[in-house]
Amino acid sequence: MAKKYFGTDGIRGRVGDYPVTADFMLKLGWAAGRVLSSNGGGDRVIIGKDTRISGYMFESALEAGLSAAGIDVRLLGPMPTPAIAYLTRTLHACAGIVISASHNAYADNGIKFFSSEGTKLPDDVELAIEAELDKPMVTVESHKLGKAERVPDAAGRYIEFCKSTIPLTFSLKGLKIVVECANGATYQVAPSVFDELGAEVVAIGVDPDGLNINQDCGSTQPDLLREIVLDNKADLGVALDGDGDRVIMVDHKGDLVDGDELLFIIALSRQQEGTLNGGVVGTLMSNLGLEHALQSHDISFSRANVGDRYVLEQLKKSSSLIGGESSGHIICLDRTTTGDGIVSALQVLAAMIKSGKSLYELKAGMKKYPQRMINVPVTRKVNLDSSAVVQDAVKSAELRLAGKGRVLLRPSGTEPLVRVMVEGEDAQQVSDEADNLASIVAEAV
């Protein structure tokens, strides 16, 4: 059954445009409370958010709806998405709710749910919540109303968890690290994690005002991080996105180290210590260089559809532990249940410490193919498979690449865009093919 509200990453859109409205969130809290309590999962839900201004409004609306359904609420305030997954488990809540639009600008917002195990809700539970939304809202009797309270030590709990994902004997002493928090949900916890592990921390993007989340900063716009790393002669930089589930790094030369390269570093380190267990899962967008580099070390590689939900499904299906996306959304199932930017960065730092090599040296083991991606704006949902003009253009491009590259067209699951990606050995050819395809797609949509 098709979902009406839930997409691949929860419910997301522009604030004020249905369903990202206060009245809908009130009803959503109530509907979720009804379903979750009927599943026998307890009567407590935790709510966390990033730093965008609309979070206050939606936090209050969800709290009211959950209370009306008889569900107790624990409020975390601004906390990274993976922290909410972790705290949902450790606080024994029946679910966790994240108010965030991840790497989007402040004018967007959204809702993501975690199960009591700290994983995304199954499809059948999301469908059950949608079915409940169609019913009239009925408040429980007054003596059954849910109560709400703050969790004062949430940040400290999560900081300690992050530190526990690398060996106790490891220290970051002697490393200067620039930590870029995108004026988002990690602004309080991320600098503390690296500082408490001994690093000299230069923290930027830690002054949220409700409107500047992801603004010219964060994992999607790392130019500022590069500049600060070079200016401070730092050993490396860590850029997180607005909700903290993605990470991109910069080496001491100012070169970007993306999710594919970080995934390679983590996987190779796990193999060398004998804890890899299975292969590595990437996505349709993962660079061919990652696939070839892993194969050269006898590490199997498979591709899932784009989206952490699908990476996680493939990891479980193949009994593997390490997977991720080029965007820096990396899942280490041997450490936690979901993508975690801080935890992923710590795994890379652990690999540096064990090997005695710099980030620049570690990433050199993978040679990336030239890749160009162009985002084509759209105003409606499109079916590119039904466009003969677009499909003919794709086939022609693949013929010209002569088996030495890839073409991928993919509607974004979170933004009104079609992503046009071309990859191959020749950078100029890749750029030309991408430009041509993007113009054809733009005309078609």
The predicted structure's pLDDT at residue 39 = 66
DSSP secondary structure, 333-362, as one string: TTT-SS--HHHHHHHHHHHHHHHT--HHHH
The pLDDT score that the predictor gives to residue 416 is 84
Q: Is the dihedral of CA 166, 172, 178, 179 positive or negative?
A: positive
**Among 184, 253, 175, 249, CA closest to 213:** 184
Q: Can 102 be counted among the known catalytic residues?
A: yes
Superfamily classification of domain 371-444: Alpha-D-phosphohexomutase, C-terminal domain (3.30.310.50)
What pLDDT does residue 444 have?
84
Question: Residue 11 forms beta bridges with which residues?
Answer: 111
Q: What CATH class does 158-256 carry?
A: alpha beta
pLDDT digits 0-9 by tens, 222-252: 999 999 999 999 999 999 999 999 999 999 9
Laid out side by side, the sheet with 371-377 consists of 371-377, 417-424, 405-411
Mean pLDDT of 251-273: 97
Tell me which CATH code domain 11-152 carries.
Answer: 3.40.120.10
Domain 257-340 has CATH 1.20.1050.10: no
pLDDT tens sequence across 397-416: 999 988 788 899 988 766 78
The residue ranges of every structural domain in the chain are 11-152, 158-256, 257-340, 371-444
pLDDT confidence tier of residue 386, bands split at 50, 70 and 90: confident
Same topology, domains 158-256 and 257-340? Answer is yes
Catalytic residue among 100, 102, 302, 327: 102
Q: What is the pLDDT of residues 127-166, one digit of tens each?
A: 999 999 999 999 999 999 999 999 999 999 999 999 999 9
Mode of pairing for the β-strands spanning 148-150 and 108-115: unpaired
